[in-house]
Amino acid sequence: MQKYNYNKLNEYLKNKYGERTLKICIDGGFTCPNRDGKISTGGCIFCSGRGSGEHINEKLSIKEQVENYFSSYRAKRANKFIAYFQNFTNTYDSIENLEKKYNEALINEQIVCLSIATRPDCIDENICKLLVKFKEKVDVWVELGLQTSNDIIGRFINRGYDSETFTKALKLLNKYGLETIVHIMVGLPNETFEDVKDTVKFLNEHNYQGIKIHSTYVVKETVLDKLYEQGKYVPMELDYYIETACYVITHINPNVVIHKISGDAPKNLLVSPEWNLHKKLMLNGINKYLSKNNLHQGMYFK
């Protein structure tokens, strides 16, 4: 904590599991209600055709993806792993199919955690009960998208749900004792610094265990890309992102684990900003800003 001035995921995992623990990113073959027509067909305006995890080979089965990972050099870097269902909405299916898919990823005892990325409008009692069953085998995390508490911006980015839906989903996950990681984005279209402050204030009224702070970037063939080309969206500068991310860090609960403080766009898809390609520049900038100003996580938390 003192070295980084915030609760870094790697340190949390070492303390929890006694050693280095890595993620295996999985494409579970899911779609999204914001894409299949249930809510919309366009998806969020920043979302690429793969929904994230563009590096994953979606042509392989879930089991094959995990086996491929274990047969690669990456598996030699650790002994414990997290099966991370990343692409699109990973609770958007029948309970039977969800159970089958999650089980398919748990191919050996080296996998100690099941992490599920999803939307708050795709969380209900039956899904929570299913995830609780998996807690008998492994730890379970639910990654829940919020992006912003400003519902006007939420509608503009075509998020497809409001902040109240997020609150209801998180309360349900709390009820079942499921560890939750909240995902927010900085630099969304029409967003001001006051909006970021409001999002942090909103989060501080909720019970969650982890957070991903994501910088907004433009990737090819998205609605945001079109807005950028038309001059209707200007990506934020690196200095602004650093200062804003540090505001979030210093104002959230000091016990929350920070899973991510950057957005990692695929090099072949990134349109703007160029600084997004330099992850170390972002991380070093944040650490330097915190240290220089004698700041640490949660120091302004209320």
Q: What is the mean pLDDT of residues 237-266?
A: 95
Burial class (CB in 10 A: 0-12, 13-18, 19+), 292: exposed
Looking at residue 55, what is its pLDDT? 47
For residues 223, 224, 226, 230, the Cα torsion angle rounded to the nearest 10 degrees is 140
In a domain, residue 46? The reply is: yes
Q: What is the mean pLDDT of residues 228-255?
A: 97
What's the structural domain count of the chain? 1
* pLDDT tens readout for residues 188-209: 999 999 999 999 999 999 999 9
In a domain, residue 254? The reply is: yes
Q: What is the mean pLDDT of residues 110-128?
A: 98
In a domain, residue 301? The reply is: no
Give the model's confidence band at 42: pLDDT under 50 very low, under 70 low, under 90 confident, else very high: confident
In a domain, residue 229? The reply is: yes
Looking at residue 56, what is its pLDDT? 52
pTM: 0.93
Q: Which domain holds residue 191?
A: 9-292
Q: What is the mean pLDDT of residues 98-111?
A: 97
In a domain, residue 63? The reply is: yes
Strand order through the sheet with 139-147: 21-26, 80-85, 111-118, 139-147, 179-186, 210-215, 257-260
Q: What is the mean pLDDT of residues 136-158?
A: 97
For residues 271, 274, 278, 282, the Cα torsion angle rounded to the nearest 10 degrees is -110
Q: How far apart are CA 142 and CA 97, in angstroms?
A: 17
In a domain, residue 13? The reply is: yes
In a domain, residue 302? The reply is: no
Residue 175: CATH number of its domain: 3.20.20.70
- Is the per-residue pLDDT at 2 higher than 90? no
Looking at residue 57, what is its pLDDT? 53
Average pLDDT value for the chain: 94
In a domain, residue 2? The reply is: no
Cβ distance 12 to 22 under 8 Å? no
Cβ distance 76 to 98 under 8 Å? no
